[in-house]
């Protein structure tokens, strides 16, 4: 009777990996690990999509603003009209103009001090804008670093549970060990699935933020030179 039952079980056994079945039949600890990694993976992809959309909109808006800014005859009038928009370049200009008004409000003007304060104000505005853009990238770096180890923890726990079953059933056959090990290894797979896009996206987005920061600094340097010429007149 034993051989027919084993044959029937072999016929009814799944011949392909089913992620849902692996998740549902896993140990509670392994399920918690996989659930946390799945949530982290979903959040990673939300950040990736949101950053791509946001960065594209900001880049186009800054490009249009800068093109119009350098052709404007009256910077104050242009800033009153366009400065209220949610554009990083506009906020850099606002910080520079605010410092310009404070530094040139007196009867005597310290030209060197004004130049230094203008540079400090614009550099601070550029840093603030790039920090705002890169705020969520830290989560990508965290997931990329931690997720594989969290998945490995689930794998180790699942393997330990499989060995416990071997001792409890006093049977070391693959039919007893294989399901638990498969569930355990699935935790590592989910950890890698969360970590790989997070690492790739973090490296790519950090490069884009650095390039955007360099563009803002170039704009700030050019505007600083324009204001410095105004001080000489």
Confidence band of 117 (pLDDT split at 50, 70, 90): very high
| pLDDT at position 86 | 85
d(CA 151, CA 173) in angstroms, rounded, equals 26
d(CA 165, CA 138) in angstroms, rounded, equals 40
pLDDT tens digit string along 168-215?
Answer: 666 556 555 666 677 778 888 889 999 999 999 999 999 999 999 999
d(CA 226, CA 229) in angstroms, rounded, equals 5
Whole-model pTM: value is 0.78
128 burial type by CB count under 10 A (0-12 exposed, 13-18 middle, 19+ buried): middle
**Pick from 21-30, 39-48, 68-77, 95-104: least confident:** 21-30
């Amino acid at each position: 009777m034993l051989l027919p039952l084993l044959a029937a079980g072999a016929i009814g056994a799944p011949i392909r990996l089913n992620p849902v079945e692996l998740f549902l039949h896993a140990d509670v600890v392994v399920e918690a690990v996989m659930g946390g990694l799945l949530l982290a993976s979903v959040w990673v992809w939300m950040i990736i999509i949101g950053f791509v959309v946001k960065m594209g909109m900001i880049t186009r808006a800054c490009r249009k603003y800068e093109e119009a800014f350098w052709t404007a005859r009256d910077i104050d009038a242009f800033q009153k009209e366009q400065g209220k928009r949610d554009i990083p370049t506009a906020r850099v200009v606002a910080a520079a103009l605010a410092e310009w008004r404070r530094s040139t409000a007196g009867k005597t003007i310290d030209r060197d001090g004004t130049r230094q304060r203008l540079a400090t104000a614009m550099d601070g505005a550029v840093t603030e804008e790039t920090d705002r853009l890169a705020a969520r990238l830290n989560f990508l770096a965290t997931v990329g670093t931690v997720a594989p180890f969290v998945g490995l923890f689930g794998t180790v726990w699942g393997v330990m549970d499989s060995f416990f079953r071997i001792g409890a059933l006093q049977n070391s056959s693959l039919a007893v060990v294989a399901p638990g090990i498969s569930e355990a290894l699935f935790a590592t797979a989910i950890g890698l699935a969360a970590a790989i896009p997070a690492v790739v996206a973090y490296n790519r987005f950090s490069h884009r933020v650095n390039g955007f920061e360099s563009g803002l600094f170039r704009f700030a340097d050019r505007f600083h030179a324009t204001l410095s010429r105004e001080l000489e007149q």
